Structure 1
Amino acid sequence: MLIEKNYSLDINDNIESPLILKVSFDKYLSQYEELVSTDNDFIAANARRVLEIAEKNPILREGFSDLSSFKTYEKEIEGLLQDAFSPILTKNEIKTASVPFHNLIFNSSERFKSILKTAGNNFDLEIKNMPTDQKYIIACTIILNLCYGYNLNFKRPFFYEIPDANGITRYYKILYNADFTEIVAKPNAPKITLEDYNELLDNFENIELWKEKFPPNSYEFKGFVISNIFDVTDDQSISNIKSTLIGEDKRKDESFMEDFHEIFRSLLGLKDIKVGFSIYNKDEDTFERVYGAGMNSFLLDTLETAQCSDSLCSWSYNRLLKEKKYFTVSDVEAKYKISEGQAPHVKVLHDQGIQSAIFAPIANDEGLMGILEIVSEEPKVLNSINANKLIDVMPFIVSAVERSKNEEENLIEAIIQKECTSIHPSVHWRFEKEAKNFIKDQLNGKEPYFSKIAFENIYPLYGQIDIKGSSEARNLATKQDLTLQLKSIKSIINDASKIDSLPIYDQYIYQANQYLKRISSNFQVDSEHQISGFIKDDIEPVLKHLFVKEELKSKIDAYFNNIDKNTDAVYQNRKDYDDTIALINKEMAALLDAKQVDAQLMYPHYFERFKTDGVEHNMYIGESITKEDSFNPMYLYNLRLWQLQVMCEMENAFYLMQPSFPVKLDVASMILVFNQPLSISFRMDEKQFDVDGTYNARYEIVKKRVDKAYIKGTTERVTQKGKISIVYSQKEDEREYLRYIKFLQSKKLLGNDVEIVDLQDLQAVTGLKAIRVSVLYHKENNDKDFYTYDDLMKEINS
C-alpha cells in the first residue's frame, strides 16, 4: 500500500529540508544479522529468509528515493516487514511504515487500510498539528541530537483526524519508532559550533538562521520510521472540551456551540446530537436561558425562564437538584405515553420532536449551577450507559461554569460601578493604586484600609443647561390631568343621579366642583394630595358599586382605562411632561458625553455629569489628576473655550429637537468660573467627589444657588432662555471670557449683544458678576443662516 498526497517522481521533490531522504532497510536488517546466530532454529531460519531478500535486492540496503522503486519492490518490502506487521495482529493493530516529514506511507496494517477506506476517496491524510513551516526546524533539532549529541526535547504528540462511517471525527495519536534511521552530514554541511548552538536556542522561529546553519540538502537521512497509532478519541474529546471552554467571550462566537456539538458527537460516537444548557437561579428556584450565539435550552424550549417545579417532575427535580446526579430519557415517546404527558421534562422534549436525552447537573460543593442537556431525535441512542462517558468531562464543564459565573458576577459589578457609582478613567489610576495597597496589606496580614483619595491644586469648571419654568410646566400638567379626571367623575355621577336620585351624588358633584375651582384659582402644594384622597376614598368605591348598572358600565370602563396603573391617576399631560424631560436629558447628556471623548484627547481631566431638570456637569483639571509633569494653564484655557463652545452646540441641538418633544419647553445655559485652584476628595459614603476645606466650600454654595440668582436691583433671573450666562468674580476672568466670546462671534455661534451685569448677593457669597450673550441658532444641521432665539421661535411657529 502506497499513500502519497503529492505525487512526484522522487520523495525529495517539492520539499525544502536540510535532509535528503532515502528509504533504507540497512539498520533494520542489522537486527536480523544478529538473529541468524540465535539458538532458536525457527528465529534463525526466519532471519536468513529476510536477509536473503535483501541480498537479492541490494537497493533495499543502499536506499532509494524514487517512487517507482516502492512499486517495483512492494512484495520484497512486505517480506522484510512481515515481523513488524504481523499477519496475526494486522486486523487489530493500527500501524504504518513511512518516511518522516513526508505524507508518504509505504506499508500499513489491514486495520489502518480499513480506517482510510471508510474515510472515503476524497479524504487527504495529513498530520494535523505539525505546522509546515516548522518541519524544517524540527528536522534541524533532530540533526543536533543525532549528529552533535545535544539533548533538545521537541517531542510533541502528533495526531490524525479521520472521519468514521458515520462522519464523526475520530482522533488517532501517532507514536514514532525511529530505531531504524540514521543521519549523516554531507561534505558541504557547515559544522555546528557551541556558539551556533547557543544562538539557535533563542531563535526557534528564525527560519533564515536555521537555514544558514543547516543549508537545504546538507544532511542525508537513511532509513524509515514505524508509526504505532492509537485511537484516542475519548481522551482528545475531553481535551477539546477543556480547550473550548478556556478563554473569554466564547458565548459571542458563532462557531462555539457548533464546535461543542462536534466534540460531544466524537465523545459519544453519535452524529445527530445537540447540546444545550440552562442556568439554575437558586434565589428564585428557576431555570434560565443562557444567552449567546447558538445557545439553546431544550428544557426551557421557547421560554426565557421557568420554575424548576414546572420544568421537572418530583423525581427528576430531586435527582438533579438534591442528589446532583444525571438521568436519561432513552425513549421519550414511551415515557410520554406512560406519564400521559404529565411529566414536564418529558412533555417539553416530546413537543420538540426529541426522542432521547441526557440531563446532567453542573454542580459543585455549593450546589447546582446549571443543567447540561444532550438530546437526539433518535430513540434510545442516548441512554444511561453512554451517559457514563460524561463523568470524565463534567469536572471541566463545572470549572468553566464556575469561572463564567465569577466573570458574570464581576461583569455585573463592573456595570453597576459604571452606571451607578462610576469612577472616571482620568482618576481610575489613583483608585487602582489604593486597591493594590489594600490587597498587599491583606496578604501581609495587616489590617487593610482604603486611603483617602484626594487631588490638590486643581481647577474646577461647572456648567448646566437647565429647563426654564420646569416647576410651572409640571404644575400645569398636574392641573390638566386632575381637571380631566374630576370632569369625568362629574359626568358619571350626574348620570347616576338620573337613575337613582340620591342626595350623596349631589354632595360628590359639589365636592368635585370645589376642587375644580381650587385647581383654576388657588392650586397649592397639598391640593394634588387632597384631590387624590377624595377620588380614592370616596369616588372609586362608588364607581365600582355603580359598575353593575348597564347604563353606566361603558363610561366607568372608559374612566378606569384612562387611569395609569403606576400612578393610579389620569397621567396624560404629566406623562408628556415627564417624557419630554427624559428626552431632553437623554439627548443633552448623549451629546455632552460624545464631545467629552474629544476633550479627553486634548488633555486628560475629571468629568462627571448629572441629569436633573436638565443636565449639569463638573470638570476638574490639574497636575495631580494626570500624575504626569505635563500640566500647563494653556490646557485650562483650552477646556474653558471648549466648554463654552459645547454649550452653544447643546443649545442648538436642543432647539432643533424641540418641535418633536411632547411638551414645548425652553432651556437656559450657565457657566460658573472659579479661578482659584482647590482640592477635592472622594467621599466613600456618597461614592462621589466633593470639595475639601471651608474656603473651597464657597464654590459648592455658588454652584447650588447661582442659577436662581437675580440681577442686582431687579427681579430678573441671571439665566435666560436664548442666552448663555457666564458667572464669575474676578476681572481677569471677565477679560478671558470676552476674548472667547469674540472668537465664537466670529464663528457665528454667539450674537453681538454682550452685557455685563452685577448679581445680588447670595448667602455668604458677594461680588458675583455675569456676562450674558445670545446664542445664534440654525433651523437645520446644514443651515448656513443663523438666528437669534426670537427669530428661531418665529420660524418654528410660522
Structure 2
Amino acid sequence: MNTNVIQIHKNECIHCQVKSNLSFRPLVEYLKDRLRTEKTVKSEFYRFLLEKIEKNDQLLGNISAQEVAKYKDTLELIFTILTPLMANEEDMFWALSTPIPDEIFFSTNAFYKFFKDHDPKNKVDKTGESLEKRQLRFIYNLILERFYNFKYVLKNEIIYAHVNPETKLTQYYNIQTDTKFVDILHQGDLPEINFQKLGQQFHDNCELEYLTQILPLTNFHFEGFSVISITDVTLQHAIDGIRDALVNHDYQSEAYTHVIQALKTLSGNANLEFGLMPFLTVNNKLIFDSKEFSQSMLINSAKDSSLEEEVFYSLVDKYKENPRAIFVSAINDDQIKKDPFLRVLKEAGVCSYSVLPIFYNTQLAGVLEVYSNQEVVVDDRLLSRLRPSMPLIGQLFQYSIEEFDAKMDEVLMDKFTALQPSVQWKFNEVVWHFLQGNKNKQKLKEIETVTFKHMFPLFGAIDIRNSTIERNKALKDDMEIQLNSLMDTLKALRKKVNLELTDKLLYNCNEWVKRIEDFASSNEESLLNEFLETEVYPFLSIIKASHPDTRTIIDQYFEVIVPETGAAFLNRRQLEISMQLINTEVSQYLEKAQQNLQASYPCYFAKFRTDGVEYDIYIGQEIAPEKPFDLLYLKNIRLWQLTSMVDIARLSKGLIDDMPRHLQTTQLIFVHSNAIDISFRNDERRFDVEGAYNIRYEVVKKRIDKVLIKNTNERLTQPDKIAMVYFHADEAQEYMEYIKYMQVQGHLNDDLELLELDELQGVSGLKALRVGVKYPLPEKQEVASKGNNITEVVLEKQLS
C-alpha cells in the first residue's frame, strides 16, 4: 500500500467556496452504528478498528493529507474492511482522498502506478464543462441528496482515456467516488427549494447558477473522506461507441469509421483490422459498390485485382446458402487452391482473413471481416470480446439496407412515377380507406379512384424547332458518309480482287446516293440496311476470309459504321447530344421552378419528354383542402408560365454555342379558363381528365403544336417567340396585361400579334397571342441561374 500524497488537480485552482477537512469521524459513527446490529464475527473487526481510531484523537479532528501517513496501519485496516477480503491490492485500483476529491493520501500500489502513468487530462467529457463547473456539480449533487433527498440521474463517475503504449489502442477507465463517509454540515436554516423550478433549470442546463444563489456554499462544511475506485471499462465503452454510432452518425460514412475503430478497441489487438460488408440487393440480386462500402477489404481487393463480378457474386451467393464463420490464420497456396478468392487478398498484402456472419432478426444482413497483414489466430477469447457487438452491427447493416432501399424508392418516385408530395396525401387516404374496408372481410373490394375536382389546368410546351426535319437531315448526311466510305472500300478491293460483283455493288451504291438526295422518311434507311445486310456484308465477309490482305481495308469500313464512334453516325450523335442538352437544361429549370411554385400554393406538376419538353399543371382547392384557394394563385401561376417561357427561350439560345448541331426552340402556352376534373388512371399510372367536355381540353392541347395561322402556311410556333393559344377574349385580356408589364420590364419585344388560327380536326374558334423574346445580352447568357431571378422578380413585383 502507498501513503504518498497525490494531487489530483495539479496546478489548477478550484474556486469552489466550500469549507472541508479530512477526518475519520464519519467512519467512527458508521462503525458504532454497525456494532449495534452486527452479530457476526465482523463485529470484532469493527470493534478493533474503532478502538484503534479512537486512540488517536488527531484522526477524529482536522488532519492534513500529509500527516495521515503516520497512521498507515490504521489505513490498512480501513482498506481491509471496505474491500472484499480476497481482493489483491496489487491488481486493485482503490484509494482514499479528501472529502471533495483533491488530494489522495492512501492508495493501492496499482492505483498509485495508474495515476503516475496516466494523464488525468485525458478525461472524456462530452459536455465540454470546465473543471470548476464539474467540481461544483459534484458538490451540489451531494448537498441535494443529503438535505433534500434529491438524486441526480448522473452518477459521480469520470471516464479516462489512455493510449496503451504497447498495443497503441485506447483504453477507458471509470473513476467512481464513494462519499458514504462524508458528512455535510449547514449553518442556519436550510432554505426551501422549488423543485419544479429546479427541474426546469436542469432542463435548461443552468441549475448551477440557480443553486449558487439559493444555496451559497459558504454556509456548508464538508468533513470526512472519499473512497475512489477505478474500473477498466474499455469493452463497455467500445460497445457504447458502436451504439452511439448507430444513433448519431451518417450510416454510410461516419458510422462505419466509428464502428471499425470501436471494434479495434474491443479486440485489444492492434494488428487486427476490420471490414464491414452489408448485403444490399436490387431485384433480389446482390450489388456491391466500392464507393459505398470502402470498408470491405474483400471488395476493395477484388476491385483492385479486376476480379469479374460474376465470380464475386457466385462466391457470395454460395456463402449465403450456408453462412458460417470462416477462419484463415495464414493465407498460403494450399488455402488459395481451396478458396480462390483468397488470392486477391494475398495480393493486397493480407496474411490472415476471417469472416463472421452478421444477422438481423435471424436473417443474414452481411458479414464482418477480421484481417491482418500478419498471421493472427482468431480464438475463442477474441470471439467472446467481439460477440456483444454482433447485434449492434446487425442493426447497422439493417439501417444501411433500409437507407439504400429508401434512396432507390426516392429516385423511383421522383423519376418514374406520377405521384408527387402535393397529391400523395390523397393516395394515403384512399389506401387507408381500402385497408379499413377490407379489414375482417373475405372478399376484397376494389380500391377507389383518386379524383380531384374543379381543377384549373395549365399547359406549356417547349419544342425543338423542325426536329423531324433535323433528324431526317442528320440521317441523310450519315447515309451519304456511309455510302461514300463503302464505295471507297469497294474500289480499293477491286484493285486486289478481280470480281465482277464488285462493280455491281458499286453501281448499286451510286444509285443509292442519288436516291437519298430526295430523302423523305426513315423508310429509306430500312431499305438501305436491307441492301447492306443481304448483299454487301456477306460479300465483304467472304472476301475478308479468302483474301487476308484485304482485312485492313474492310475493317476500316466497319469502324466507320460503329454507332458509338463511327463517322457514319456522327451527325445523328451530334443531333442527339444537342437535343439532350436542351431537354436536360429545360427539365432541370422546370424542376427547380416547380419547387418554388409549390411553396406559394400546392399544385400537381407533370413533365413529359417528347422531342422537347411538355408539362401539365393542375391547381385548385382540392389539392390542398386545408389551405383556402383563391384565383390570385391561378393568376400567379399564369404569370409564372409567361416569365418562365422567357427564361427558357433565353436559356436555349444561350446553349447554341455548346451544341454540335445548332437547334432552336419554340415556346407554346395553352390558356384554358374553365376548371376540369382529373383522376388517376391505375392502369397507366398517371392522371387524366374526366368527362366529355374535359377530354376536349386534352384533344386541343395535343394538336395545337402544329397549328397554322389562318389563311397562311406559317406555323404559329416560331423560334424567339412565345405563343399563347386561347378561346375567349377575357383570357387574352389577362395575358395582354402580363405581356405589357413584361415589355416595360425589358423582357419582351414590342411586337405583340393577335392571330386567328386554322381549324383543327373537331376544333374551331382558336385564337392566339404571339410576342417576341428580348435578348438583352449579345453574348452567351447564364440563364440557368439568372433566369430564375427574372421570374422571381416579375412575380414579386406583380403580386405586390
Under a length normalisation based on structure 1, what TM-score does the superposition of the two structures give?
Answer: 0.85
**Which of the pair is proportionally richer in helix?**
2
Q: Shift of the alpha carbon at 1:770?
A: 0.5
Task: Answer yes or no: is 1:471 the counterpart of 2:472.
Answer: no
Identity score, percent: 26
Map of 2:198 onto structure 1: 200
Q: Shift of the alpha carbon at 1:296?
A: 4.1
Q: Which residues of 2 match residues 111-190 of structure 1 at below 5 A?
A: 111-119=110-118, 122-124=119-121, 126=123, 128=125, 132=129, 136=136, 139-140=139-140, 142-149=142-149, 155=155, 159-165=159-165, 166-174=167-175, 177-187=178-188, 189-190=190-191
SS in 1 for 2:191: coil
Q: Which residues of 2 match residues 530-545 of structure 1 at below 5 A?
A: 530-545=527-542
Task: Answer yes or no: is 1:527 the counterpart of 2:524.
Answer: yes
Q: Quick one: distance in 2 between partners of 1:649 and 1:490?
A: 48
SS in 2 for 1:82: helix
Q: Pick closer, same or farther for the CA change 1:141–1:115 going to 2, 3 Å.
A: closer
Q: One-letter code of the match for 1:108?
A: S
Q: Quick one: distance in 1 between partners of 2:245 and 2:10?
A: 36
Pick the aligned partner of 1:74 from 64, 69, 72: 69
Map of 2:231 onto structure 1: 230
CA contact (8 A) 1:465 1:667 kept: yes
Q: Pick closer, same or farther for the CA change 1:101–1:741 going to 2, 3 Å.
A: farther
Q: Shift of the alpha carbon at 1:286?
A: 6.2
CA contact (8 A) 1:172 1:230 kept: yes
Q: Pick closer, same or farther for the CA change 1:54–1:327 going to 2, 3 Å.
A: farther
Q: Quick one: distance in 1 between partners of 2:679 and 2:372?
A: 61
Q: Quick one: distance in 1 between partners of 2:708 and 2:313?
A: 70
Q: Shift of the alpha carbon at 1:530?
A: 1.5
Q: One-letter code of the match for 1:527?
A: E
Q: Pick closer, same or farther for the CA change 1:684–1:250 going to 2, 3 Å.
A: same
Q: Deviations over 1:424-480 (max 9, x none)?
A: 333344334445556666888896875433322222221112111111111111111
Q: Which residues of 2 match residues 287-686 of structure 1 at below 5 A?
A: 288-289=288-289, 291-292=291-292, 295-301=295-301, 303=303, 310=311, 320-331=319-330, 335-339=331-335, 343-363=339-359, 368-380=364-376, 382-383=378-379, 386-435=382-431, 451-521=448-518, 523-548=520-545, 549-564=547-562, 570-686=568-684
CA contact (8 A) 1:329 1:383 kept: no
Q: Shift of the alpha carbon at 1:481?
A: 1.4
Q: Shift of the alpha carbon at 1:56?
A: 3.0
SS in 2 for 1:246: helix
Q: Pick closer, same or farther for the CA change 1:690–1:303 going to 2, 3 Å.
A: same
Q: Quick one: distance in 2 between partners of 1:198 and 1:458?
A: 54
SS in 2 for 1:379: coil
Tell me whether 499-508 or 275-284 shows the greater mean CA deviation. Answer: 275-284
Q: Shift of the alpha carbon at 1:629?
A: 4.2
Map of 1:242 onto structure 2: 243
Q: Which runs of 5 or more structure 1 residues have no equivalent in the other structure?
A: 785-798
Tell me whether 492-501 or 351-360 shows the greater mean CA deviation. Answer: 492-501
Q: One-letter code of the match for 1:463?
A: G
Q: Shift of the alpha carbon at 1:768?
A: 0.8
Q: Shift of the alpha carbon at 1:8?
A: 6.6
CA contact (8 A) 1:479 1:519 kept: yes
Q: Shift of the alpha carbon at 1:702?
A: 1.0
CA contact (8 A) 1:466 1:669 kept: yes
Task: Answer yes or no: is 1:6 the counterpart of 2:1.
Answer: no
Under a length normalisation based on structure 2, what TM-score does the superposition of the two structures give?
Answer: 0.85
Q: Pick closer, same or farther for the CA change 1:652–1:735 going to 2, 3 Å.
A: same
Q: Quick one: distance in 2 between partners of 1:473 and 1:36?
A: 107
Q: Pick closer, same or farther for the CA change 1:427–1:168 going to 2, 3 Å.
A: same
What is the aligned residue count?
763
SS in 2 for 1:171: strand
Map of 2:721 onto structure 1: 723
Q: Shift of the alpha carbon at 1:535?
A: 1.3
Map of 1:788 onto structure 2: none
Q: Shift of the alpha carbon at 1:640?
A: 1.6
SS in 1 for 2:332: helix
SS in 1 for 2:323: coil
Q: Quick one: distance in 2 between partners of 1:423 and 1:285?
A: 27
SS in 2 for 1:771: strand
Q: One-letter code of the match for 1:74?
A: A
Q: One-letter code of the match for 1:73?
A: V
Q: Quick one: distance in 2 between partners of 1:102 and 1:692?
A: 81
Tell me whether 574-583 or 142-151 shows the greater mean CA deviation. Answer: 142-151
Tell me whether 420-429 or 362-371 shows the greater mean CA deviation. Answer: 362-371
Q: Pick closer, same or farther for the CA change 1:48–1:290 going to 2, 3 Å.
A: same
CA contact (8 A) 1:286 1:306 kept: no
Q: Pick closer, same or farther for the CA change 1:540–1:186 going to 2, 3 Å.
A: farther
Q: Quick one: distance in 2 between partners of 1:569 and 1:367?
A: 54
CA contact (8 A) 1:95 1:226 kept: yes
Q: Shift of the alpha carbon at 1:755?
A: 1.6
Tell me whether 457-466 or 45-54 shows the greater mean CA deviation. Answer: 45-54
Q: Which residues of 2 match residues 268-279 of structure 1 at below 5 A?
A: 268-279=267-278
Q: Shift of the alpha carbon at 1:149?
A: 4.6
Q: One-letter code of the match for 1:161?
A: A
Map of 1:791 onto structure 2: none
Q: One-letter code of the match for 2:113?
A: S
Tell me whether 300-309 or 418-427 shows the greater mean CA deviation. Answer: 300-309
Q: Shift of the alpha carbon at 1:408?
A: 1.6
Map of 1:109 onto structure 2: 108
Q: Shift of the alpha carbon at 1:580?
A: 1.0
Tell me whether 685-694 or 671-680 shows the greater mean CA deviation. Answer: 685-694
SS in 2 for 1:669: strand
Q: Quick one: distance in 1 between partners of 2:139 and 2:437?
A: 52
Q: Quick one: distance in 2 between partners of 1:367 and 1:623?
A: 47
CA contact (8 A) 1:91 1:110 kept: yes
CA contact (8 A) 1:313 1:343 kept: no
Q: Shift of the alpha carbon at 1:704?
A: 0.3
CA contact (8 A) 1:751 1:776 kept: yes
Q: Pick closer, same or farther for the CA change 1:286–1:622 going to 2, 3 Å.
A: closer
Q: Pick closer, same or farther for the CA change 1:150–1:388 going to 2, 3 Å.
A: closer
CA contact (8 A) 2:459 2:614 kept: yes
Q: Which runs of 5 or more structure 2 residues have no equivalent in the other structure?
A: 784-800
Q: Shift of the alpha carbon at 1:706?
A: 0.6
Q: Pick closer, same or farther for the CA change 1:515–1:43 going to 2, 3 Å.
A: same
Q: Deviations over 1:529-575 (max 9, x none)?
A: 11112212322222222224355322211111122257999321111
SS in 2 for 1:559: helix
Q: Pick closer, same or farther for the CA change 1:75–1:131 going to 2, 3 Å.
A: farther
Q: Quick one: distance in 2 between partners of 1:580 and 1:483?
A: 21
Tell me whether 155-164 or 479-488 shows the greater mean CA deviation. Answer: 155-164
CA contact (8 A) 1:180 1:225 kept: yes
SS in 1 for 2:277: strand
Q: Quick one: distance in 1 between partners of 2:720 and 2:198?
A: 74
Map of 2:792 onto structure 1: none
Q: Deviations over 1:693-733 (max 9, x none)?
A: 22111111111001111222222221122221111111111
SS in 1 for 2:203: coil
Q: Quick one: distance in 2 between partners of 1:42 and 1:661?
A: 96
Q: Pick closer, same or farther for the CA change 1:624–1:39 going to 2, 3 Å.
A: closer
Q: Quick one: distance in 2 between partners of 1:529 and 1:45?
A: 109
Map of 1:216 onto structure 2: 217
Q: Quick one: distance in 2 between partners of 1:131 and 1:773?
A: 65
Q: Deviations over 1:233-275 (max 9, x none)?
A: 323323322322335623233xx44432331122111124322
Q: Quick one: distance in 2 between partners of 1:367 and 1:466?
A: 52
